[in-house]
Structure 1
Amino acid sequence: MKEEFVIRPALPEDRPAMERICAHTWESGDYIQEVWDEWLAAENGPLLVVELDTVGVVSLNKVTRHPEGQFWLEGMRVDPDYRGRGIARRCLDWNLAYAREQGGRVVRLSTGDYNTTVHRMVARVGMERVTEGTLRVGPALPGGRRPAILGPEDSDAVARFWRGSPVLAAMGGLYSRDWSWRELSAAALAAMLERGEVVAERAPDGNLAAVATIHHHAGDEEMWVGIADGEPAAVQSLALAIRAGAADAGAGEARAMLPRVPWLREAFLAAGYEPDDWDDELWVYELRLEQDEAGEGERGH
Protein backbone atom coordinates (compact mmCIF):
# COMPACT_ATOMS: atom_id res chain seq x y z
CA MET A 1 0.00 0.00 0.00
CA LYS A 2 1.34 3.41 -1.00
CA GLU A 3 2.33 5.66 1.89
CA GLU A 4 0.67 9.05 1.92
CA PHE A 5 2.32 12.09 3.37
CA VAL A 6 1.45 15.76 3.60
CA ILE A 7 3.81 18.73 3.39
CA ARG A 8 2.52 21.58 5.56
CA PRO A 9 3.78 24.66 7.46
CA ALA A 10 5.42 23.82 10.76
CA LEU A 11 3.67 24.61 14.03
CA PRO A 12 5.09 25.30 17.50
CA GLU A 13 3.79 21.93 18.69
CA ASP A 14 6.03 20.21 16.11
CA ARG A 15 9.10 20.95 18.25
CA PRO A 16 9.24 17.52 19.97
CA ALA A 17 9.20 15.79 16.57
CA MET A 18 11.90 18.16 15.30
CA GLU A 19 14.07 17.43 18.33
CA ARG A 20 13.61 13.68 17.84
CA ILE A 21 14.63 13.89 14.18
CA CYS A 22 17.56 16.26 14.74
CA ALA A 23 18.99 14.09 17.52
CA HIS A 24 20.35 11.86 14.73
CA THR A 25 21.97 14.48 12.48
CA TRP A 26 25.59 14.67 13.68
CA GLU A 27 27.44 13.36 16.71
CA SER A 28 28.21 16.96 17.67
CA GLY A 29 24.52 17.91 17.57
CA ASP A 30 22.38 20.03 15.26
CA TYR A 31 21.68 23.74 14.97
CA ILE A 32 17.97 23.45 14.12
CA GLN A 33 16.92 23.50 17.77
CA GLU A 34 18.57 26.91 18.15
CA VAL A 35 16.88 28.51 15.12
CA TRP A 36 13.49 26.73 15.27
CA ASP A 37 11.58 29.57 16.92
CA GLU A 38 13.22 32.14 14.64
CA TRP A 39 12.30 30.09 11.57
CA LEU A 40 8.72 29.66 12.79
CA ALA A 41 8.33 33.43 13.05
CA ALA A 42 10.20 34.26 9.84
CA GLU A 43 8.36 36.08 7.08
CA ASN A 44 10.99 35.35 4.43
CA GLY A 45 9.76 31.86 3.52
CA PRO A 46 8.09 28.81 5.04
CA LEU A 47 9.37 26.33 7.59
CA LEU A 48 7.87 23.02 6.50
CA VAL A 49 7.28 19.58 7.98
CA VAL A 50 6.20 16.29 6.43
CA GLU A 51 3.52 14.18 8.09
CA LEU A 52 3.36 10.51 7.11
CA ASP A 53 -0.07 8.87 7.53
CA THR A 54 -0.66 8.20 11.25
CA VAL A 55 3.05 8.21 12.09
CA GLY A 56 3.32 11.98 12.45
CA VAL A 57 6.14 14.33 11.49
CA VAL A 58 9.06 12.55 9.81
CA SER A 59 10.87 15.40 8.01
CA LEU A 60 11.41 19.16 7.99
CA ASN A 61 13.09 21.86 5.92
CA LYS A 62 13.24 25.65 5.51
CA VAL A 63 12.80 27.78 2.39
CA THR A 64 14.25 31.29 2.63
CA ARG A 65 13.66 34.10 0.15
CA HIS A 66 16.63 36.39 -0.46
CA PRO A 67 16.61 39.64 -2.44
CA GLU A 68 16.52 39.73 -6.24
CA GLY A 69 14.56 36.51 -6.70
CA GLN A 70 17.00 34.22 -4.90
CA PHE A 71 15.79 31.29 -2.78
CA TRP A 72 17.86 29.31 -0.31
CA LEU A 73 16.98 25.78 0.88
CA GLU A 74 18.31 24.59 4.22
CA GLY A 75 17.69 22.40 7.22
CA MET A 76 16.50 19.34 5.30
CA ARG A 77 16.14 16.55 7.84
CA VAL A 78 14.48 13.15 7.49
CA ASP A 79 13.88 10.72 10.34
CA PRO A 80 16.43 7.89 9.89
CA ASP A 81 13.63 5.32 10.07
CA TYR A 82 11.96 6.84 7.00
CA ARG A 83 14.90 7.58 4.75
CA GLY A 84 15.05 6.01 1.31
CA ARG A 85 11.32 6.53 0.66
CA GLY A 86 11.61 9.57 -1.58
CA ILE A 87 10.59 12.07 1.10
CA ALA A 88 13.55 14.41 0.58
CA ARG A 89 13.02 14.37 -3.20
CA ARG A 90 9.32 15.23 -2.81
CA CYS A 91 10.25 18.09 -0.48
CA LEU A 92 12.81 19.36 -3.00
CA ASP A 93 10.17 19.27 -5.75
CA TRP A 94 7.76 21.18 -3.47
CA ASN A 95 10.40 23.80 -2.71
CA LEU A 96 11.28 24.34 -6.37
CA ALA A 97 7.60 24.69 -7.29
CA TYR A 98 7.12 27.19 -4.45
CA ALA A 99 10.09 29.26 -5.66
CA ARG A 100 8.65 29.31 -9.18
CA GLU A 101 5.22 30.39 -7.92
CA GLN A 102 6.85 33.20 -5.95
CA GLY A 103 8.64 34.51 -9.04
CA GLY A 104 12.00 33.10 -8.03
CA ARG A 105 14.92 33.40 -10.41
CA VAL A 106 17.37 30.98 -8.82
CA VAL A 107 17.36 28.35 -6.05
CA ARG A 108 20.46 27.31 -4.12
CA LEU A 109 21.47 24.97 -1.31
CA SER A 110 24.65 23.63 0.23
CA THR A 111 25.57 20.17 1.44
CA GLY A 112 28.67 18.41 2.68
CA ASP A 113 31.21 17.10 0.21
CA TYR A 114 30.63 13.64 1.68
CA ASN A 115 26.84 13.66 1.13
CA THR A 116 26.68 11.71 -2.12
CA THR A 117 22.98 10.92 -1.66
CA VAL A 118 22.11 14.62 -1.81
CA HIS A 119 24.56 15.18 -4.67
CA ARG A 120 22.68 12.63 -6.78
CA MET A 121 19.26 13.93 -5.75
CA VAL A 122 19.91 17.56 -6.66
CA ALA A 123 21.61 16.59 -9.93
CA ARG A 124 18.43 14.77 -10.96
CA VAL A 125 16.46 18.04 -10.81
CA GLY A 126 19.11 19.93 -12.77
CA MET A 127 21.00 21.66 -9.96
CA GLU A 128 24.68 22.26 -10.67
CA ARG A 129 27.58 22.71 -8.29
CA VAL A 130 28.87 26.27 -8.56
CA THR A 131 31.36 26.66 -5.70
CA GLU A 132 32.73 25.17 -2.51
CA GLY A 133 33.52 26.54 0.93
CA THR A 134 35.55 25.41 3.91
CA LEU A 135 35.34 27.10 7.32
CA ARG A 136 38.33 28.87 8.85
CA VAL A 137 38.18 30.61 12.25
CA GLY A 138 40.41 33.26 13.79
CA PRO A 139 40.08 34.47 17.40
CA ALA A 140 39.20 38.11 17.91
CA LEU A 141 42.25 40.34 18.30
CA PRO A 142 41.67 43.12 20.87
CA GLY A 143 43.78 46.21 20.29
CA GLY A 144 44.79 45.30 16.77
CA ARG A 145 44.68 47.54 13.72
CA ARG A 146 41.13 47.69 12.42
CA PRO A 147 40.29 47.50 8.71
CA ALA A 148 39.41 50.55 6.64
CA ILE A 149 35.63 50.68 6.20
CA LEU A 150 34.44 51.71 2.75
CA GLY A 151 31.24 53.63 2.06
CA PRO A 152 28.93 54.62 -0.80
CA GLU A 153 31.51 57.12 -2.06
CA ASP A 154 33.74 54.14 -2.90
CA SER A 155 31.10 52.30 -4.93
CA ASP A 156 32.72 52.80 -8.35
CA ALA A 157 36.14 51.60 -7.18
CA VAL A 158 34.61 48.61 -5.40
CA ALA A 159 32.55 47.66 -8.44
CA ARG A 160 35.67 47.78 -10.64
CA PHE A 161 37.57 45.68 -8.11
CA TRP A 162 35.01 42.87 -8.06
CA ARG A 163 34.52 42.88 -11.84
CA GLY A 164 38.07 41.59 -12.21
CA SER A 165 38.09 39.30 -9.17
CA PRO A 166 39.38 35.73 -9.69
CA VAL A 167 37.99 34.76 -6.28
CA LEU A 168 34.51 35.97 -7.20
CA ALA A 169 34.76 33.88 -10.38
CA ALA A 170 35.81 30.85 -8.31
CA MET A 171 32.76 31.42 -6.11
CA GLY A 172 30.39 31.44 -9.07
CA GLY A 173 29.65 35.15 -8.61
CA LEU A 174 28.50 34.53 -5.02
CA TYR A 175 29.49 35.54 -1.50
CA SER A 176 28.62 33.74 1.71
CA ARG A 177 26.39 35.13 4.43
CA ASP A 178 25.13 33.25 7.51
CA TRP A 179 25.89 29.79 6.08
CA SER A 180 24.19 30.67 2.79
CA TRP A 181 25.42 32.00 -0.53
CA ARG A 182 24.02 34.92 -2.55
CA GLU A 183 24.96 36.86 -5.67
CA LEU A 184 27.40 39.71 -5.20
CA SER A 185 25.18 41.99 -7.29
CA ALA A 186 25.38 45.77 -7.63
CA ALA A 187 22.39 46.08 -5.31
CA ALA A 188 23.95 43.78 -2.71
CA LEU A 189 27.22 45.74 -2.80
CA ALA A 190 25.39 49.06 -2.49
CA ALA A 191 23.51 47.82 0.57
CA MET A 192 26.70 46.54 2.21
CA LEU A 193 28.51 49.81 1.53
CA GLU A 194 25.65 51.67 3.21
CA ARG A 195 25.90 49.39 6.26
CA GLY A 196 29.69 49.61 6.52
CA GLU A 197 30.13 45.93 5.61
CA VAL A 198 32.85 46.39 2.98
CA VAL A 199 36.42 46.69 4.28
CA ALA A 200 39.72 47.18 2.50
CA GLU A 201 43.48 47.34 2.60
CA ARG A 202 44.79 50.22 0.50
CA ALA A 203 48.01 50.31 -1.50
CA PRO A 204 50.45 53.23 -0.95
CA ASP A 205 48.94 54.99 -3.98
CA GLY A 206 45.47 54.79 -2.43
CA ASN A 207 44.12 52.09 -4.72
CA LEU A 208 42.37 49.03 -3.33
CA ALA A 209 44.94 46.29 -2.66
CA ALA A 210 42.44 43.95 -0.98
CA VAL A 211 38.69 44.06 -0.34
CA ALA A 212 36.38 41.90 1.76
CA THR A 213 32.75 41.89 2.80
CA ILE A 214 31.94 41.29 6.45
CA HIS A 215 28.84 41.05 8.60
CA HIS A 216 28.06 40.76 12.28
CA HIS A 217 24.73 40.57 14.06
CA ALA A 218 24.65 42.42 17.39
CA GLY A 219 25.18 39.98 20.22
CA ASP A 220 26.62 37.22 18.03
CA GLU A 221 29.94 35.62 18.87
CA GLU A 222 31.05 35.57 15.24
CA MET A 223 31.95 38.16 12.63
CA TRP A 224 31.78 36.60 9.17
CA VAL A 225 33.86 37.27 6.08
CA GLY A 226 31.69 36.81 2.99
CA ILE A 227 34.37 37.09 0.31
CA ALA A 228 37.91 38.46 0.06
CA ASP A 229 40.32 39.05 -2.80
CA GLY A 230 43.34 41.15 -3.71
CA GLU A 231 47.10 40.93 -3.51
CA PRO A 232 47.98 37.97 -1.24
CA ALA A 233 50.00 40.01 1.29
CA ALA A 234 47.26 42.64 1.44
CA VAL A 235 44.58 39.97 1.92
CA GLN A 236 46.59 38.54 4.80
CA SER A 237 46.83 42.00 6.41
CA LEU A 238 43.13 42.60 5.87
CA ALA A 239 42.18 39.23 7.36
CA LEU A 240 44.25 40.07 10.44
CA ALA A 241 42.59 43.50 10.71
CA ILE A 242 39.16 41.86 10.51
CA ARG A 243 40.03 39.88 13.64
CA ALA A 244 40.61 43.23 15.37
CA GLY A 245 37.32 44.51 13.98
CA ALA A 246 35.61 41.44 15.43
CA ALA A 247 36.95 42.30 18.86
CA ASP A 248 35.69 45.89 18.57
CA ALA A 249 32.25 44.57 17.60
CA GLY A 250 32.10 42.39 20.70
CA ALA A 251 32.53 39.13 18.79
CA GLY A 252 34.76 36.36 20.01
CA GLU A 253 36.01 35.27 16.62
CA ALA A 254 36.11 35.99 12.90
CA ARG A 255 34.93 33.30 10.50
CA ALA A 256 35.51 32.87 6.80
CA MET A 257 33.97 30.31 4.43
CA LEU A 258 36.78 30.09 1.91
CA PRO A 259 36.50 28.76 -1.65
CA ARG A 260 38.92 26.27 -3.17
CA VAL A 261 41.57 28.91 -3.91
CA PRO A 262 44.87 27.71 -2.36
CA TRP A 263 46.62 31.07 -2.02
CA LEU A 264 43.53 32.56 -0.33
CA ARG A 265 43.35 29.78 2.23
CA GLU A 266 47.08 30.18 2.87
CA ALA A 267 46.69 33.95 3.40
CA PHE A 268 43.96 33.42 5.96
CA LEU A 269 45.97 30.69 7.67
CA ALA A 270 48.91 33.08 7.95
CA ALA A 271 46.51 35.64 9.48
CA GLY A 272 45.56 33.19 12.22
CA TYR A 273 42.47 31.51 10.78
CA GLU A 274 42.57 27.80 11.56
CA PRO A 275 40.31 24.89 10.60
CA ASP A 276 37.34 24.52 12.93
CA ASP A 277 36.26 21.25 14.57
CA TRP A 278 34.15 20.80 11.44
CA ASP A 279 36.70 20.59 8.64
CA ASP A 280 34.65 19.22 5.73
CA GLU A 281 33.85 21.20 2.61
CA LEU A 282 30.42 22.55 1.74
CA TRP A 283 29.36 22.24 -1.88
CA VAL A 284 26.95 24.87 -3.19
CA TYR A 285 24.40 23.91 -5.84
CA GLU A 286 22.04 26.11 -7.82
CA LEU A 287 19.21 25.86 -10.32
CA ARG A 288 18.40 28.90 -12.46
CA LEU A 289 14.66 28.80 -12.85
CA GLU A 290 14.54 31.04 -15.92
CA GLN A 291 16.54 28.34 -17.72
CA ASP A 292 14.51 25.49 -16.20
CA GLU A 293 11.74 24.92 -18.70
CA ALA A 294 10.55 21.59 -17.36
CA GLY A 295 8.92 22.95 -14.20
CA GLU A 296 8.21 19.39 -13.10
CA GLY A 297 7.88 20.01 -9.37
CA GLU A 298 4.34 20.18 -8.08
CA ARG A 299 3.27 21.36 -4.69
CA GLY A 300 0.79 19.31 -2.75
CA HIS A 301 0.60 15.88 -1.14
Structure 2
Amino acid sequence: MHHQITPLSFRPAREGDREAVFAMVATVWGGTDYIPSIWDAWLHAEDGPMLVGTLGDERPVALCKLTGLTPAEDWLEGVRVDPAFRGQGFARAMIRHAIAAARERGKRTLRYQTDESNTTMHRLAEELGFTLSNRPRWWVGAPVLGEPAFRPLGPERLPQLLAEIAASPLLRQTSGLFSVSWTAYELTEQQLRQRLAAGQVVGIPGDEAWAIVTTSRVGGCWVGYAAGPHAQLVRLLAEVRRSPNPDEPEMYVRAHFPAGAAVLDALAEAGFQPGEHNARVYTYQLGE
Protein backbone atom coordinates (compact mmCIF):
# COMPACT_ATOMS: atom_id res chain seq x y z
CA MET A 1 0.00 0.00 0.00
CA HIS A 2 1.35 3.42 -0.95
CA HIS A 3 1.21 6.21 1.60
CA GLN A 4 1.97 9.84 0.85
CA ILE A 5 5.27 11.03 2.27
CA THR A 6 4.42 13.83 4.68
CA PRO A 7 6.35 17.08 5.06
CA LEU A 8 6.08 17.04 8.85
CA SER A 9 8.89 18.14 11.12
CA PHE A 10 8.90 17.12 14.78
CA ARG A 11 9.88 18.86 18.01
CA PRO A 12 8.87 19.08 21.67
CA ALA A 13 5.74 21.13 22.30
CA ARG A 14 6.19 24.60 23.76
CA GLU A 15 4.01 27.18 25.45
CA GLY A 16 3.47 29.10 22.22
CA ASP A 17 1.71 26.04 20.71
CA ARG A 18 -1.21 26.29 23.14
CA GLU A 19 -3.60 28.25 20.92
CA ALA A 20 -2.98 26.13 17.82
CA VAL A 21 -3.30 22.84 19.71
CA PHE A 22 -6.48 23.88 21.52
CA ALA A 23 -8.03 24.89 18.18
CA MET A 24 -6.89 21.57 16.70
CA VAL A 25 -8.75 19.52 19.34
CA ALA A 26 -11.78 21.81 19.74
CA THR A 27 -14.17 19.41 18.02
CA VAL A 28 -12.80 16.12 19.41
CA TRP A 29 -15.48 14.14 21.29
CA GLY A 30 -17.97 16.91 20.75
CA GLY A 31 -15.69 19.52 22.30
CA THR A 32 -14.87 17.52 25.44
CA ASP A 33 -11.30 16.46 24.65
CA TYR A 34 -9.10 16.24 27.76
CA ILE A 35 -6.02 17.77 26.09
CA PRO A 36 -6.75 21.37 27.22
CA SER A 37 -7.21 20.26 30.84
CA ILE A 38 -3.90 18.39 30.91
CA TRP A 39 -1.87 20.69 28.66
CA ASP A 40 0.13 22.42 31.40
CA ALA A 41 0.93 19.13 33.15
CA TRP A 42 2.10 17.52 29.91
CA LEU A 43 4.07 20.58 28.83
CA HIS A 44 6.12 20.50 32.04
CA ALA A 45 6.14 16.74 32.63
CA GLU A 46 9.42 15.10 33.57
CA ASP A 47 8.26 11.58 32.66
CA GLY A 48 8.37 12.10 28.91
CA PRO A 49 7.93 14.68 26.15
CA MET A 50 4.82 16.07 24.52
CA LEU A 51 5.65 16.14 20.82
CA VAL A 52 4.20 18.07 17.90
CA GLY A 53 4.39 17.66 14.16
CA THR A 54 4.65 20.93 12.28
CA LEU A 55 4.55 22.19 8.71
CA GLY A 56 6.82 24.84 7.24
CA ASP A 57 5.31 27.64 9.30
CA GLU A 58 6.04 25.79 12.59
CA ARG A 59 2.32 25.60 13.39
CA PRO A 60 1.42 22.26 15.06
CA VAL A 61 -0.87 20.03 13.02
CA ALA A 62 -0.22 16.80 14.95
CA LEU A 63 0.38 15.92 18.58
CA CYS A 64 1.25 13.06 20.92
CA LYS A 65 2.60 12.48 24.43
CA LEU A 66 5.17 9.92 25.55
CA THR A 67 5.06 8.93 29.22
CA GLY A 68 7.68 6.76 30.88
CA LEU A 69 5.83 4.26 33.05
CA THR A 70 8.98 2.41 34.11
CA PRO A 71 12.61 2.43 32.92
CA ALA A 72 11.57 -0.14 30.29
CA GLU A 73 8.05 1.01 29.30
CA ASP A 74 6.85 4.06 27.40
CA TRP A 75 3.15 4.87 27.00
CA LEU A 76 1.82 6.71 23.94
CA GLU A 77 -1.29 8.86 24.33
CA GLY A 78 -2.98 11.97 23.05
CA VAL A 79 -2.40 11.26 19.35
CA ARG A 80 -4.21 14.04 17.51
CA VAL A 81 -4.21 15.48 13.99
CA ASP A 82 -5.71 18.80 12.92
CA PRO A 83 -9.01 17.99 11.16
CA ALA A 84 -7.96 20.17 8.22
CA PHE A 85 -4.97 17.89 7.59
CA ARG A 86 -6.41 14.43 8.14
CA GLY A 87 -6.00 11.79 5.48
CA GLN A 88 -2.43 12.83 4.64
CA GLY A 89 -0.57 10.29 6.78
CA PHE A 90 0.20 12.68 9.62
CA ALA A 91 -0.99 10.31 12.38
CA ARG A 92 1.17 7.56 10.91
CA ALA A 93 4.17 9.88 10.78
CA MET A 94 3.55 11.07 14.34
CA ILE A 95 3.45 7.51 15.68
CA ARG A 96 6.57 6.56 13.71
CA HIS A 97 8.36 9.48 15.33
CA ALA A 98 7.10 8.39 18.76
CA ILE A 99 8.52 4.91 18.16
CA ALA A 100 11.91 6.41 17.30
CA ALA A 101 11.78 8.72 20.31
CA ALA A 102 10.92 5.86 22.69
CA ARG A 103 13.81 3.84 21.29
CA GLU A 104 16.18 6.78 21.81
CA ARG A 105 14.91 6.97 25.40
CA GLY A 106 16.15 3.40 25.93
CA LYS A 107 12.74 1.81 26.32
CA ARG A 108 11.98 -1.84 25.68
CA THR A 109 8.28 -1.43 24.83
CA LEU A 110 5.91 1.25 23.61
CA ARG A 111 2.17 0.79 24.14
CA TYR A 112 -1.04 2.64 23.56
CA GLN A 113 -4.72 2.09 24.22
CA THR A 114 -7.52 3.06 21.89
CA ASP A 115 -11.26 2.60 21.75
CA GLU A 116 -12.65 -0.60 20.26
CA SER A 117 -14.41 1.52 17.62
CA ASN A 118 -11.31 3.45 16.51
CA THR A 119 -10.56 1.45 13.39
CA THR A 120 -8.03 4.02 12.15
CA MET A 121 -5.78 3.44 15.15
CA HIS A 122 -6.26 -0.33 14.82
CA ARG A 123 -5.14 -0.19 11.19
CA LEU A 124 -2.15 2.02 11.98
CA ALA A 125 -1.06 -0.35 14.75
CA GLU A 126 -1.02 -3.28 12.32
CA GLU A 127 0.74 -1.31 9.59
CA LEU A 128 3.45 0.01 11.92
CA GLY A 129 4.29 -3.33 13.58
CA PHE A 130 2.37 -3.15 16.87
CA THR A 131 0.75 -6.32 18.21
CA LEU A 132 -2.64 -6.56 19.91
CA SER A 133 -1.92 -7.32 23.58
CA ASN A 134 -5.28 -6.98 25.30
CA ARG A 135 -8.93 -6.17 24.58
CA PRO A 136 -10.24 -4.92 27.95
CA ARG A 137 -13.97 -4.49 28.53
CA TRP A 138 -15.30 -1.60 30.59
CA TRP A 139 -17.20 -2.26 33.83
CA VAL A 140 -18.59 0.31 36.25
CA GLY A 141 -19.90 0.15 39.82
CA ALA A 142 -22.15 2.74 41.42
CA PRO A 143 -21.28 3.87 44.97
CA VAL A 144 -22.82 2.25 48.03
CA LEU A 145 -22.92 4.41 51.15
CA GLY A 146 -20.90 2.98 54.02
CA GLU A 147 -17.42 2.36 55.38
CA PRO A 148 -15.50 -0.18 53.26
CA ALA A 149 -14.16 -3.26 55.01
CA PHE A 150 -11.08 -3.76 52.86
CA ARG A 151 -7.60 -2.76 54.03
CA PRO A 152 -4.17 -2.34 52.42
CA LEU A 153 -2.18 -5.57 52.47
CA GLY A 154 1.18 -5.70 54.21
CA PRO A 155 4.56 -6.66 52.70
CA GLU A 156 4.34 -10.10 54.31
CA ARG A 157 1.85 -11.08 51.57
CA LEU A 158 4.35 -10.35 48.78
CA PRO A 159 5.69 -13.93 48.30
CA GLN A 160 2.17 -15.33 48.04
CA LEU A 161 1.06 -12.60 45.63
CA LEU A 162 4.12 -13.12 43.42
CA ALA A 163 3.36 -16.84 43.22
CA GLU A 164 -0.22 -16.04 42.25
CA ILE A 165 0.62 -13.61 39.46
CA ALA A 166 3.21 -16.06 38.07
CA ALA A 167 0.38 -18.56 37.53
CA SER A 168 -2.41 -16.05 36.82
CA PRO A 169 -4.89 -17.03 34.06
CA LEU A 170 -6.00 -13.39 33.93
CA LEU A 171 -2.48 -12.16 33.18
CA ARG A 172 -2.15 -14.77 30.44
CA GLN A 173 -5.23 -13.21 28.84
CA THR A 174 -3.90 -9.66 29.18
CA SER A 175 -0.31 -10.35 28.05
CA GLY A 176 0.84 -9.65 31.62
CA LEU A 177 -0.83 -6.22 31.78
CA PHE A 178 -3.11 -4.54 34.29
CA SER A 179 -4.93 -1.21 34.05
CA VAL A 180 -4.62 1.96 36.09
CA SER A 181 -7.06 4.50 34.72
CA TRP A 182 -6.57 4.43 30.93
CA THR A 183 -3.00 3.14 31.11
CA ALA A 184 -1.73 -0.45 30.94
CA TYR A 185 1.31 -1.51 32.97
CA GLU A 186 3.25 -4.77 33.12
CA LEU A 187 2.48 -6.46 36.45
CA THR A 188 6.08 -7.21 37.41
CA GLU A 189 7.55 -7.89 40.84
CA GLN A 190 8.79 -4.30 41.02
CA GLN A 191 5.38 -2.96 40.05
CA LEU A 192 3.68 -5.10 42.70
CA ARG A 193 6.17 -3.96 45.35
CA GLN A 194 5.46 -0.32 44.48
CA ARG A 195 1.70 -0.81 44.63
CA LEU A 196 2.00 -2.57 47.99
CA ALA A 197 4.14 0.24 49.37
CA ALA A 198 1.59 2.79 48.15
CA GLY A 199 -1.28 0.99 49.92
CA GLN A 200 -2.98 0.18 46.60
CA VAL A 201 -3.04 -3.62 47.03
CA VAL A 202 -6.06 -4.36 49.20
CA GLY A 203 -8.07 -7.21 50.68
CA ILE A 204 -10.55 -8.00 53.43
CA PRO A 205 -8.82 -9.16 56.63
CA GLY A 206 -8.89 -12.95 56.84
CA ASP A 207 -9.64 -13.45 53.12
CA GLU A 208 -7.27 -14.52 50.35
CA ALA A 209 -8.86 -12.40 47.60
CA TRP A 210 -7.00 -9.21 46.68
CA ALA A 211 -7.12 -6.37 44.21
CA ILE A 212 -5.09 -3.41 42.99
CA VAL A 213 -7.26 -0.34 43.64
CA THR A 214 -6.14 3.18 42.74
CA THR A 215 -7.74 6.59 43.04
CA SER A 216 -9.14 7.98 39.78
CA ARG A 217 -8.31 11.57 38.80
CA VAL A 218 -11.95 12.05 37.78
CA GLY A 219 -13.31 10.85 41.12
CA GLY A 220 -13.90 7.42 42.60
CA CYS A 221 -11.42 4.61 42.05
CA TRP A 222 -10.13 2.06 39.57
CA VAL A 223 -9.80 -1.72 39.98
CA GLY A 224 -6.75 -2.70 37.94
CA TYR A 225 -6.37 -6.36 38.91
CA ALA A 226 -8.36 -8.75 41.10
CA ALA A 227 -7.90 -12.40 42.03
CA GLY A 228 -8.86 -14.96 44.65
CA PRO A 229 -11.58 -17.45 45.58
CA HIS A 230 -14.83 -16.49 43.89
CA ALA A 231 -17.00 -15.83 46.94
CA GLN A 232 -14.26 -13.77 48.58
CA LEU A 233 -13.67 -11.86 45.36
CA VAL A 234 -17.36 -10.96 45.12
CA ARG A 235 -17.25 -9.72 48.71
CA LEU A 236 -14.12 -7.66 48.11
CA LEU A 237 -15.42 -6.06 44.91
CA ALA A 238 -18.69 -5.19 46.63
CA GLU A 239 -16.72 -3.52 49.43
CA VAL A 240 -14.69 -1.51 46.91
CA ARG A 241 -17.98 0.13 45.93
CA ARG A 242 -18.52 1.40 49.47
CA SER A 243 -17.79 5.02 50.39
CA PRO A 244 -18.78 7.16 53.38
CA ASN A 245 -19.19 10.14 51.02
CA PRO A 246 -22.80 10.54 49.80
CA ASP A 247 -21.68 12.75 46.89
CA GLU A 248 -19.55 10.27 44.95
CA PRO A 249 -19.95 10.16 41.15
CA GLU A 250 -22.37 7.58 39.72
CA MET A 251 -19.47 5.78 38.02
CA TYR A 252 -17.66 5.44 41.34
CA VAL A 253 -15.60 2.33 40.50
CA ARG A 254 -14.23 1.57 37.05
CA ALA A 255 -12.53 -1.57 35.80
CA HIS A 256 -11.09 -2.92 32.56
CA PHE A 257 -10.95 -6.72 32.18
CA PRO A 258 -10.98 -8.88 29.02
CA ALA A 259 -13.99 -10.85 27.83
CA GLY A 260 -14.09 -14.35 29.29
CA ALA A 261 -12.06 -13.47 32.39
CA ALA A 262 -13.29 -15.30 35.50
CA VAL A 263 -13.35 -12.02 37.42
CA LEU A 264 -16.25 -10.79 35.27
CA ASP A 265 -18.69 -13.11 37.04
CA ALA A 266 -17.52 -11.74 40.37
CA LEU A 267 -17.92 -8.16 39.12
CA ALA A 268 -21.49 -8.88 38.02
CA GLU A 269 -22.38 -10.50 41.36
CA ALA A 270 -20.86 -7.52 43.17
CA GLY A 271 -23.23 -5.17 41.34
CA PHE A 272 -21.02 -3.91 38.53
CA GLN A 273 -22.48 -3.26 35.07
CA PRO A 274 -20.88 -3.45 31.60
CA GLY A 275 -19.95 0.00 30.31
CA GLU A 276 -19.46 1.51 26.89
CA HIS A 277 -15.72 2.12 26.67
CA ASN A 278 -14.27 -1.15 25.44
CA ALA A 279 -10.70 -0.84 24.27
CA ARG A 280 -7.64 -2.35 22.65
CA VAL A 281 -4.07 -2.21 23.93
CA TYR A 282 -1.26 -2.42 21.37
CA THR A 283 2.44 -3.10 22.03
CA TYR A 284 5.53 -2.28 19.97
CA GLN A 285 8.66 -4.21 20.95
CA LEU A 286 11.64 -1.87 20.78
CA GLY A 287 14.26 -4.33 22.01
CA GLU A 288 15.19 -6.72 24.78
TM-score between the two structures when normalised by the length of structure 2: 0.89
- Cα deviation 1:244-290 (Å, max 9, x = unaligned): 2x557x964221122223542232133222344xx031100001211
Query: In the alignment, is residue 130 of structure 1 matched against residue 129 of structure 2?
Result: no
**1:178 deviation in Å?**
2.6
Change (3 A) 1:157 1:90: same
Taking the aligned partners of 1:132 and 1:267, their CA distance within structure 2 comes to 19
Secondary structure of 1:62 counterpart: strand
Structure 2 unmatched runs, 5+: none
| Equivalent residue letter for 1:286 | T
Taking the aligned partners of 1:114 and 1:138, their CA distance within structure 2 comes to 23
% identical aligned pairs: 34
- Cα deviation 1:137-162 (Å, max 9, x = unaligned): 22333324421321211111111121
Q: Does the 8 Å contact 1:223/1:251 carry over to 2? A: no
**1:56 deviation in Å?**
2.1
TM-score between the two structures when normalised by the length of structure 1: 0.86
Partner of 1:118 in structure 2? 121
Partner of 1:13 in structure 2? 16
Partner of 2:55 in structure 1? 52
**1:9 deviation in Å?**
1.2
Change (3 A) 1:56 1:75: same
Taking the aligned partners of 2:187 and 2:225, their CA distance within structure 1 comes to 9
Change (3 A) 1:284 1:247: farther
Partner of 1:211 in structure 2? 210
Alignment length, in residue pairs?
282
Partner of 2:285 in structure 1? 288
Secondary structure of 1:90 counterpart: helix
Query: In the alignment, is residue 105 of structure 1 matched against residue 108 of structure 2?
Result: yes
**1:47 deviation in Å?**
0.6
Query: In the alignment, is residue 223 of structure 1 matched against residue 226 of structure 2?
Result: no
Taking the aligned partners of 2:49 and 2:207, their CA distance within structure 1 comes to 44
Taking the aligned partners of 2:51 and 2:106, their CA distance within structure 1 comes to 19
Q: Does the 8 Å contact 1:148/1:201 carry over to 2? A: yes
Structure 1 unmatched runs, 5+: 292-301
Partner of 2:72 in structure 1? 69
Taking the aligned partners of 1:282 and 1:5, their CA distance within structure 2 comes to 29
**1:124 deviation in Å?**
1.8
Taking the aligned partners of 1:84 and 1:122, their CA distance within structure 2 comes to 16
Secondary structure of 1:169 counterpart: helix
Q: Does the 8 Å contact 1:171/1:259 carry over to 2? A: yes
CA-atom RMSD, angstroms? 2.3
Change (3 A) 1:2 1:132: closer
Change (3 A) 1:55 1:187: closer
Taking the aligned partners of 1:163 and 1:200, their CA distance within structure 2 comes to 19
